[in-house]
Amino acid sequence: MSTAPEHTAPGNPTASAPRPRRSVLYMPGANERALEKARSLPTDALILDLEDSVAPDAKAEARERVAAAAASGAYGRREVTIRVNAPGTPWHADDLRAAADAGPDAVVVPKVDSPRTVREVVAALEAAGAPERTAVWAMLETPAALLDARAIAEASPRLTVLVMGTNDLAKELHAEHVLGRAPLLASLSLALLAARAAGKVILDGVYNDVHDADGFEAETLQARRMGFDGKTLIHPRQLEPCNRIFAPDAAEIERSERIIAAFEEATSQGRGVVTVDGRMIENLHVEEARRVLALAEAVADR
């Protein structure tokens, strides 16, 4: 398993281009129609869910269905992940074994609350023969997880992505879901700090009202502005706005190109600082411009 971070860690501007994870769509593992439909949806990644969207009586059947879907190769370039039931539940160990056999791109682990949980999941996957390509994504959705977020993010090189679970988090905090998410901002920021310090990808939580397009746009824009790499979704109609908001737009691409060109010209003349559109540009802005262009290229390649 590669130990290289997927994202540029501080002081490492040369890390490889990010894989787009603008949109990451959950689908209930027991829902055959959704599993079928996902083959043609414009999502960067899929989470085939065995946890909260599957009733206890349907867990075993959903596990078989999801494992077969993940192993089928039917989802093209979409990243395919399996969300197992949480550690400590009666289904967790069987889910991990089935996921190890299926070999998805990642196993999504809900309710991770310590680095030890991550290490135990990685050990169980390796003991079950999971291929090297199968990463671990950890969900941060409890107060304990947020207070230990950096240690969780750094617990294993197999852990590549942090995923916010904002429904469980709000429940645990006794918080309300309100416009602007003030009650959750401290947690979202802590998770972002942990992800960036560890050089990991981080995804925002879901927006529950599948009919509220304006609310969804506002929350997604907030996530992008905070620094999230993408958002987890629950309905196909959330895909288009999410993909649009998390991709650099034409103006951003054009400005990034001008920043790089202006800075290169300045350095060829022995200067380390220049202005573009009246704003100071230093090497750190050039690094950011290169990140934006690398992401735009990766998105265009989809």
Note the residues at the interface with ligand LIB3CWND (CB under 6 A): 25-28, 33-34, 37-38, 49, 52-53, 110, 141, 165-168, 205-206, 210, 234-236
Dihedral of CA atoms 70, 74, 75, 77 in degrees, nearest 10, equals 110
Distance CA 283, CA 290 (A): 11
278-286 own/partner pairs: CB under 8 Å, 24+ apart: 285/259, 286/259, 286/260
**Minimum distance from CB of 99 to ligand LIB3CWND (Å)?**
17
Which residue's CB is nearer to Mg ion, number 8 or number 53? 53
The pair of structure tokens assigned to 69 is: 């879907």
**Minimum distance from CB of 28 to ligand LIB3CWND (Å)?**
5
Pairing outcome for strands 274-276 and 279-281: antiparallel
Name the binder of 85 from ligand LIB3CWND, Mg ion, none, CB < 5-8 A by kind: none
Name the binder of 263 from Mg ion, ligand LIB3CWND, none, CB < 5-8 A by kind: none
Name the binder of 25 from ligand LIB3CWND, Mg ion, none, CB < 5-8 A by kind: ligand LIB3CWND
How big is the chain by its Cα radius of gyration, in Å?
20
Flag whether 141 is marked binding: yes
Which residue's CB is nearer to Mg ion, number 133 or number 171? 171
Rounded to 10°, the helix 115-127/92-102 angle is 50
**Minimum distance from CB of 31 to ligand LIB3CWND (Å)?**
6
Using left for φ > 0, alpha for ψ between -120 and 50, and beta otherwise, residue 246 falls in alpha
Size of the site for Mg ion (CB under 5 A): 3
Which residue's CB is nearer to Mg ion, number 47 or number 281? 47
DSSP 192-233: HHHHHHHT-EEEE-----TT-HHHHHHHHHHHHHHT-SEEEE
Which residue's CB is nearer to Mg ion, number 230 or number 248? 230
**Minimum distance from CB of 172 to Mg ion (Å)?**
10
Distance CA 289, CA 297 (A): 12
**Minimum distance from CB of 299 to ligand LIB3CWND (Å)?**
21
Which residue's CB is nearer to ligand LIB3CWND, number 50 or number 293? 50
Show contacts with Mg ion in window 134-173 (CB under 5 A): 141, 165, 168
Q: Please tell me whether residue 80 adopts helix, strand or coil conformation.
A: strand
**Minimum distance from CB of 173 to ligand LIB3CWND (Å)?**
12
Flag whether 291 is marked binding: no
Q: What is the largest distance, in Å, between two alpha-carbon atoms of the chain?
A: 70
37-42 own/partner pairs: CB under 8 Å, 24+ apart: 37/236, 38/75, 38/78, 39/74, 39/75, 39/76, 41/236, 41/239, 42/239, 42/240, 42/243
**Minimum distance from CB of 79 to ligand LIB3CWND (Å)?**
15
Which residue's CB is nearer to ligand LIB3CWND, number 27 or number 96? 27
Which residue's CB is nearer to Mg ion, number 203 or number 247? 203
Flag whether 83 is marked binding: yes
**Which among 217, 67, 51 is positioned nearest to 139, based on CA atoms?**
51
Instruction: Point out the annotated binding site.
Output: 83, 141, 168
Instruction: Point out the annotated binding site for Mg(2+).
Output: 141, 168
Name the site residues for Mg ion (rule: CB under 5 A).
Answer: 141, 165, 168
